[in-house]
Amino acid sequence: MSSRLNVGAIGLGRLGRVYAQDLAQRVPNARLVAVADQKAELAEQFAKELDVPKWYQSHQDLLADPDVEAVAVVTSTSTHKEVVLDAVRNGKAVFCEKPIAMSLEEAREMLETVAAAGVFFQPGFQRRFDAGYVAAKKQIEAGVIGTPVVLTSTSRDPFRPPLEFCDPKVSGGLIADMGIHDFDVARMFMGDVKSVYAVGCTLAYPEMKSVGDIDNAIVSMVFESGALGAVHLSRNAVFGYDIRAEIWGTKGSLQIGYYRQTPILIMTKEGITHDVVPYFMERFESAYLAQIQDFVSKVQHGGEPAVTGADAMAAMRVSLAATRSLHGGRIVEI
Amino acid sequence: MSSRLNVGAIGLGRLGRVYAQDLAQRVPNARLVAVADQKAELAEQFAKELDVPKWYQSHQDLLADPDVEAVAVVTSTSTHKEVVLDAVRNGKAVFCEKPIAMSLEEAREMLETVAAAGVFFQPGFQRRFDAGYVAAKKQIEAGVIGTPVVLTSTSRDPFRPPLEFCDPKVSGGLIADMGIHDFDVARMFMGDVKSVYAVGCTLAYPEMKSVGDIDNAIVSMVFESGALGAVHLSRNAVFGYDIRAEIWGTKGSLQIGYYRQTPILIMTKEGITHDVVPYFMERFESAYLAQIQDFVSKVQHGGEPAVTGADAMAAMRVSLAATRSLHGGRIVEI
Amino acid sequence: MSSRLNVGAIGLGRLGRVYAQDLAQRVPNARLVAVADQKAELAEQFAKELDVPKWYQSHQDLLADPDVEAVAVVTSTSTHKEVVLDAVRNGKAVFCEKPIAMSLEEAREMLETVAAAGVFFQPGFQRRFDAGYVAAKKQIEAGVIGTPVVLTSTSRDPFRPPLEFCDPKVSGGLIADMGIHDFDVARMFMGDVKSVYAVGCTLAYPEMKSVGDIDNAIVSMVFESGALGAVHLSRNAVFGYDIRAEIWGTKGSLQIGYYRQTPILIMTKEGITHDVVPYFMERFESAYLAQIQDFVSKVQHGGEPAVTGADAMAAMRVSLAATRSLHGGRIVEI
Amino acid sequence: MSSRLNVGAIGLGRLGRVYAQDLAQRVPNARLVAVADQKAELAEQFAKELDVPKWYQSHQDLLADPDVEAVAVVTSTSTHKEVVLDAVRNGKAVFCEKPIAMSLEEAREMLETVAAAGVFFQPGFQRRFDAGYVAAKKQIEAGVIGTPVVLTSTSRDPFRPPLEFCDPKVSGGLIADMGIHDFDVARMFMGDVKSVYAVGCTLAYPEMKSVGDIDNAIVSMVFESGALGAVHLSRNAVFGYDIRAEIWGTKGSLQIGYYRQTPILIMTKEGITHDVVPYFMERFESAYLAQIQDFVSKVQHGGEPAVTGADAMAAMRVSLAATRSLHGGRIVEI
């Protein structure tokens, strides 16, 4: 029994509940001992349903609980800095969903505090734990495609968020909100980014102009190595959820991604049809689980975080540069 | 808390552990309260690892436990009759992995006892809970392919079992051991089988002749409706695990199945390559979970079992007839 | 100029025109010097359109033409014997579309005459010239899949023929009419057939019962080598034309076939859709051309026919045995 | 006979021979009456092999032939202007392979002369005649994907050309040489291009630096409509020839392209493998034929050219702008 890590979950929104449920039921070496959410009744109900011993409204109360050894922070981005700093002060190991902060300044302050305290800190980038991306990384390291020279990374949502969440003041805008995963993937495969140029449009949902956001973007990149990249972002993959990457090397190439959700083809006079992965929860269910398992395991048994705070800051830096490029209509060096 | 079903797991072999682990960690409305296995230390170790309160060597002791409301029976087939009858006598709801018995006589006696006792009894046929088969059933019921007129169902293993498990006295032979899933699928889509004709060979693993088993078989079928079917069974799909079905109707057709396990393509001078689902655990992990969830849910909230004892007997009857056809070199009416 | 073979085409039905057009325009070392068809105006019109120097109503007149060195016989099956024997008597090299005769007796008489005359004779089995089947044969011969142990060969039409052509007295019935290609493929990959068992139904087009034909059949086979096979035939692949084969060996397997005709995917809220090869002309256009090119080339430069009269007889023998099996409801040894 | 168009072919290099052979053998309403090539013996040999009545060393001699009604100009780009102007002066209808000229100035002079003379002039852009691109255009015009908002167009060669052909002074450089097809496709689906930004690298074949060329490029585009695009160009798709396009609209999307050449899958312990279209001749054989058939048909029966001189100039303009962007490291307005 003592071999389990006692974890608390802070924030029980859509994604927060996924992590909390995984911690409660699917991570054998973790025990979900407490949950916290600003909506007290949500915390209570969730705790009762999943047999979680304690629930809190305030994250400070949860962090003051000596039973809690580590926390998963899945609150809204604007509160990440406060919650993470509080957790660090209480000596808890921290998993923090991306983006870790609203600005590079916030992020820098957080990481300095983390470093000074010497606590374990891991930002959330679940694609790094997806079977496809993991397999690609292994193949590249094994030299199967030679030296990577071009990357494309694609993220397309099946619909736009509600307008209030599109507001760049809340979301950071399409490039920061969606693209940060692609920029992290880009760095994982290709190394650091040297310059970016972004173009965008608002043609699929003209109403998004009212809040100042775009619905499609293409970001072209030059890496420090001289290699090239392009990130494609969209809110109108109306048929389903389209997450892909291609890495082209000197000896071969890799394609990551798939569309079909259910292993069935329907063949009628209208043609051959299959369904599509509907959205991110279906696409990355296993990756979210693998990520939080990895966090628990590393905290327990030691080792460097699979994703570091420096990785999170580097991806933020690229996404902010690409956003500036979009607004300035110019190439931005990083 | 009172809303959970208290379940015991009997038999902790490879598949037994899957069910037990699902019941312990992934079926929210179940509580795994006890496990039993002839190897006492295996039961104890498993119970400790998964926080299962009680463990037993003898299935009778588990069945005598008044805390246990339902049991999953995943022992070797030769013990199914005894364990199930004991469970029924103790008034437990019963899930029993396929095949439910060694012979039609055994099965008949078990089902009569179940019926007399009025307990809930569900045989294990996990393909009925696989997303592909479920989607196909829905599409057919919605009339998308019209009336089904031809079925093919395919089961191909990546390798042969150890010779001692190939012995038809233990396994029932290839057709009974593997084919029973296909015969159940056939009945699910096409209704009852009228006649069968089976051919077999032992060309991939000649050493299987020494125990009297075959490594490949094709069973052609005529259904009561007049429709046609073919079941393909093999032990030498050396590239991976090949589970498929096609249903051809008057207005269209369906294909169920997939090969690729990891969403990555590798493209080199050697061509385009992808990996393959390696074996049944990877292929049917979700289906095993959905099946035991359905069992727990039905026992708790009432309703007919998704698969009945009569279904299990009907599939057995077809597989025994096909085995007789193989040995007799003749068409067998059912 | 003298390096071209002067060929005559007899029979200008749908398939006859394909061969004639290929000979006129796409076989560089052939010259189509004459065409013949019972419908004189059809022969004349075709000749004028394609600049063919001579046209005839009677095949005898074409065969009497000393300019003609070789002929493609694509008349109705019931006339094959007469036309081929006339051609042989005139010393012409003969390509004869499948099936070469109405009965094994006819076929035997034709082949004996061919052998006695020593003329070049090649029956039409275009699948042997399809890129997929050719590549599979090469891979098998290279040992890539080890020893073949199971074959499935599938032929599914998108619709039934007009009822008058379904009449088994004309067509030979579904098994002989469609299946002969599959039996030839089976022999090409697996060797000679030892026994067959056929089941059939008439559920998609009940009106076919009025002429005594079936719309679906499954023929299971045992080969002389002990290997197994199944042939699937259907008239109701309503979505398109479905021609496939699988060969399963001791070290791997091969799948031949494809559905998509146009390289485009359409992705909308209804799912991902693509079109399908509509029918045999689209599927086998290249194979028909490769076949007649091979015939011309072999006649010119010598060499054994790629398909022999003995091959044609063997495939006929299997299809007739399977038809007897269907009608007798029994296993038939060959 | 009089219903055929008499065509001459000028230039019998690799692609020139394809057009000439198509005109000789596969375009029923054309007659190839003459060929010309600077290498006289090549022209003579080709003419003899394909029964072409006349052959010339000088294009002027061919153009002076009153039997010639139309010409296909497939000489090296540096001679296009001279040959086309000579053809126009002789009143011949002209098909001219892309790029039609070395510079926009040359192209402008050619098109003004063509316009003044009123002769039929069609530049070669065979992708417009490929079944996939044609089907996509139809679907878009039918409204299936709504309004197009993003395009990606991909051209990847399996290897680099010999260094002497890589020299930008000869080839125009990667972007002009390969990309012009993609820019034409971009305009066909999305309309005119407003601005471009190109990045490039020389990492796969460092030796290309010696001649001043690159081996990979990404060109991001903004269209006049506000829509976005990206063109991916590469010389190191070492596994085969990779030609694709995606068009994303407000209601759905389309993907054009395919990899598999031969309809066969090989399944062994190494995974599932298939081959790939090796190069442009295999990929676009049908498109080249359809294009020259369309040219012949339009010249005979009237109608606007499917691709106009203005289209060719517009694609050139984009490719030159993208080349300037690459060299200047800046965004270029068109």
Residues 6 or more apart whose Cβ sits within 8 Å of residue C149: B201, B203, B204, B215, B216, B236, C227, C228, C248, C249, C250
Contact yes or no for B220 and C226 at CB 8 A: no
Facing residue for C265 by CB, picked from D26, D255, D262 = D255
Contact yes or no for A228 and D156 at CB 8 A: no
Q: Ramachandran region of residue C272, left (φ > 0), alpha (ψ -120 to 50) or beta? A: beta
Q: Residues of B with CB below 8 A from A266's CB?
A: 139, 144-145, 252, 254
Residue A123, beta-bridge partner list: A96
Q: Residues of D with CB below 8 A from C144's CB?
A: 266, 268
Q: Residues of B with CB below 8 A from D264's CB?
A: none
Q: What's the Cα-to-Cα distance from A164 to each of A167, A169, A235, D240, rounded to whole Å?
A: 6, 10, 15, 47
Contact yes or no for A260 and C272 at CB 8 A: yes
Q: Residues of C with CB below 8 A from D267's CB?
A: 252-255
Partners for A (CB, 8 Å, 3+ pairs)?
A: B, C, D
Facing residue for C266 by CB, picked from D28, D252, D265 = D252
CB burial of residue B87 (10 Å; 0-12, 13-18, 19+): buried
Bond preceding residue B305 cis, omega within 30 of 0: no
Contact yes or no for D197 and A220 at CB 8 A: yes
Q: Residues of B with CB below 8 A from A252's CB?
A: 266-269
ipTM score for this prediction = 0.94
Alpha-carbon distance D206 to nearest alpha carbon in chain C (angstroms): 34
Report the pLDDT value the prediction gives residue C268, as an integer from 0 to 100: 92
Alpha-carbon distance C285 to nearest alpha carbon in chain A (angstroms): 21
Average pLDDT over residues B148-170: 93
- Kind and range of the H or E run holding C134: helix C131-141
pLDDT in tens, A278-298: 999 999 999 999 999 999 999
Q: Residues of D with CB below 8 A from B276's CB?
A: 267, 271-272
The residues of D whose Cβ lies within 8 A of any Cβ of A are 147, 149-150, 152, 156, 197, 199-201, 203-204, 215-218, 220-222, 225-230, 232, 234, 236-239, 248-253, 329-331
Residues 6 or more apart whose Cβ sits within 8 Å of residue A243: A127, A154, A155, A156, A257, A280, A283
Interface test with C, best of A273, A274, A275, A279 (most C CBs within 10 A): A273
Contact yes or no for B271 and D273 at CB 8 A: yes
Rounded (10°) angle between helices A309-328 and A179-190? 120
Asked if C71 and C92 touch (Cβ cutoff 8 Å), the reply is yes
Interface test with A, best of D151, D152, D197, D259 (most A CBs within 10 A): D197
pLDDT in tens, A171-182: 889 999 999 999
Instruction: Output the six-digit token pair for C102.
Output: 């109405």
pLDDT in tens, D186-242: 999 999 999 999 999 999 999 999 999 999 999 999 999 999 999 999 999 999 999
Give SS3 for B285: helix
Give SS3 for B245: strand
Nearest CA in chain D to C51: D1
Q: Beta A242-249 vs B193-201: how paired, if at all?
A: unpaired
Give SS3 for A260: coil
Of B53, B113, B44, B51, give the one whose Cα is nearest residue B83: B113
Task: Return the ∠ at Cα D271 (arms to D269 and D273), rounded to 5°.
Answer: 125
The dihedrals phi and psi of D153, each to the nearest 5 degrees, come to -130, 130
Contact yes or no for C264 and D255 at CB 8 A: yes
Facing residue for D144 by CB, picked from C132, C136, C268 = C268
Asked if residue C2 has pLDDT above 50, the reply is no
Asked if C237 and C157 touch (Cβ cutoff 8 Å), the reply is yes
Whole-angstrom Cα distance, residue D225 to residue A112?
Answer: 46
Contact yes or no for A139 and B264 at CB 8 A: yes
pLDDT in tens, C250-270: 999 999 999 999 999 999 998
> Which of A165-179, B185-199, B241-255, D248-262 shows the lowest per-residue confidence on average (mean pLDDT)?
A165-179
Q: Residues of A with CB below 8 A from D221's CB?
A: 199
Contact yes or no for A236 and D149 at CB 8 A: yes
Report the pLDDT value the prediction gives residue A196, as an integer from 0 to 100: 98
Give the HSE-up count for residue D225: Cα atoms under 13 Å, Cβ half-sphere.
16
Q: Residues of B with CB below 8 A from D274's CB?
A: 271-272
Asked if residue A226 has pLDDT above 70, the reply is yes
Asked if residue A1 has pLDDT above 70, the reply is no
Asked if C149 and C227 touch (Cβ cutoff 8 Å), the reply is yes
For A259, which DSSP code?
A: -
To the nearest whole number, what is the mean pLDDT of chain D? 95
Q: Residues of C with CB below 8 A from D259's CB?
A: none
Please count the residues of chain A.
Answer: 334
Burial A60-73 (b: 16+ CB within 10 A, else e): eebbebeebbbbbb
Contact yes or no for D253 and A230 at CB 8 A: no
Nearest CA in chain C to B329: C331
Contact yes or no for D131 and C263 at CB 8 A: yes
Task: For tokens 């109403």, name the residue.
Answer: A207
Nearest CA in chain B to A3: B49
Instruction: Output the six-digit token pair for D74.
Output: 């497939």
Give SS3 for B189: helix
Cα A259 to chain centroid, rounded: 20
Contact yes or no for A149 and D203 at CB 8 A: yes
What confidence category does residue D1 fall into, taking pLDDT thresholds of 50, 70 and 90?
Answer: very low
Contact yes or no for D267 and B273 at CB 8 A: no
Of B47, B85, B80, B45, give the one whose Cα is nearest residue B63: B85
Q: How many C-beta atoms surround the C-beta of residue A157 within 10 A?
A: 22
pLDDT in tens, B9-65: 999 999 999 999 999 988 989 999 999 999 999 999 999 998 899 999 999 999 999
What confidence category does residue C235 fall into, taking pLDDT thresholds of 50, 70 and 90?
Answer: very high
Burial C269-285 (b: 16+ CB within 10 A, else e): eebbbbbbbeebeebbe
Alpha-carbon distance C137 to nearest alpha carbon in chain D (angstroms): 11
Of C61, C25, C27, give the one whose Cα is nearest residue C43: C61
Amino acid at C283: R
Residues 6 or more apart whose Cβ sits within 8 Å of residue A235: A156, A157, A159, A160, A161, A174, A204, A205, A208, A215, A216
For A261, which DSSP code?
A: -
- Kind and range of the H or E run holding D232: strand D228-234
Give SS3 for B55: strand
Give SS3 for D148: strand
Contact yes or no for D204 and A250 at CB 8 A: yes
Instruction: Output the six-digit token pair for A176.
Output: 């920061």
